[in-house]
Amino acid sequence: MAVKLDYTITKNAYGARFEYQNDLSLTKGAREVITSFLSWILLCSLALYTSVLAEKPLFTFLFIILLALNSARLIPLLKFRSRSISNSVKNLKEKDVVLYLNEEGLTEETNGIISKVPWTSVISYVLFKGNLFVELAGDLCAIVPSGPLKEGSNTIEEAVQYLKTNNVQTGNKNVA
């Protein structure tokens, strides 16, 4: 049984691919900043509590200021993440794609161009934020967005099942 997926690749799907490739969900640097931030919150909260109990308004005010300043450090990190994704997709155009999975491999049809990939060149697949990314040889990737598929299409779940029956591995981090 062949699987047919008819869809439009949107900027959201391209953005999800960029996010997955670059592990922007929580990079090591982001984890360090967040850990540092949480440590500061704990320390300042303890100091704030102690200064309130000791009825020292000057120290209370000081610790509130320190807490606010440290919180402001997190804002550029969140903006950078958002800007990185936006910049990566701003010049990409949405495109209509029909992807067939059959006994020969994958066949992708877009803008009148037909590309065929044998199963031996299908490296892995991953589901990320509902999108299906199929890593292909040559640093290429087939993208199936999480949005609605066009009428007459199979589901992403059926495509994943078909990939599994053809021994395609899951979870490679590259996603070309």
Q: Tell me which residue of 110, 108, 125, 136 sits closest to 3, measured CA to CA.
A: 108
Would you state the pLDDT for residue 176? 47
At 173 the pLDDT is 54
Specify the pLDDT at position 163. 93
- Per-residue pLDDT tens over the stretch 84-109: 667 767 777 888 999 999 999 999 99
Q: What would the CATH number be for the domain defined by 3-21+92-170?
A: 2.30.29
pTM higher than 0.75: no
The phi and psi torsions of 19 (rounded to 5 degrees) equal -60, -45
pLDDT at 81: 61
Surface-to-core class of residue 103, CB atoms within 10 Å of its CB (0-12 exposed, 13-18 middle, 19+ buried) = exposed
- Please name the residues in contact with 136: beta carbons below 8 A apart, sequence gap of 6 or more: 106, 117, 121, 122, 123, 142, 176
CA max distance for the chain: 77
Does residue 1 carry a pLDDT above 60? Answer: yes
b/e 159-172 (16+ beta carbons within 10 angstroms → b):
bbebbeeeebeeee
Q: Which residue has the tokens 């994943």?
A: 160
pLDDT surpassing 80 at residue 77 = no
pLDDT digits (tens, 9 = 90+) for 109-135: 999 999 999 999 999 999 988 889 999
Residue 73 DSSP symbol: T
Distance (Å, whole) CA 48 – CA 81: 31
pLDDT tens digits for range 136-174? 998 888 989 987 889 988 999 999 999 999 989 887 554
Average pLDDT over residues 50-57: 82
Where does residue 145 rank: exposed (0-12), middle (13-18), buried (19+ CB within 10 A)? buried
